[in-house]
Amino acid sequence: MLNQDTDASRRDPNVKDTHSLIASDRVEGTRVYGADGRHIGSIERLIIGKRDGRVAYAVLSFGGFLGIGHDHYPLPWEKLNYDTQLDGYRIDLTKEQIEGAPSYSDDDDTWYNDNGRRVYDYYGVPPYWM
C-alpha cells in the first residue's frame, strides 16, 4: 500500500493497480522524498492534458497548518520516480531547491497557462507538449 496522507474511503475498490499502472486517487496523497531521502511533501493532485491525456504535472504541497497557507509546486511528471523502499516518489532535488521553484497560490486561476514553460525550464526537462 502506498504511503498516503489521504482518506482511504475515497478510493474505488474496483480499480486495481498493475505493475506499471496506478489509479490517480492512489497517487494523490503519496509522499515525495528528496535526493537526501527526507520527506518533502505529498502529491496533492495530478494535472492532466485534456486532449492527449498525459500527466503534465504532479502538484506537490507542503507547509501551512491544517491545510491553510500551504504552497503548491507543480512538478513535471518525468521528475518523479517511484521508490518501493520509501513507498513513495523520489525526486532528485532537495526541499530547498523545490522551495525555489515556480509555485502558485490557491486563488491563482491562470497560473498553468502563463507558467508552464517556466516550470519545465526550472526542472530542466522537455515540456510535456513537445
The answer on pLDDT for 3 being more than 70 is no
Q: How far apart are CA 11 and CA 113, in angstroms?
A: 30
Distance CA 124, CA 121 (A): 5
Query: What global pTM score does this model have?
Result: 0.77
The 10s digit of each residue's pLDDT in 51-68 is 888 998 999 988 766 556
Closest alpha carbon to 70 in 30, 46, 40, 110: 40
What is the CATH architecture assignment of 8-122?
Roll (2.30)
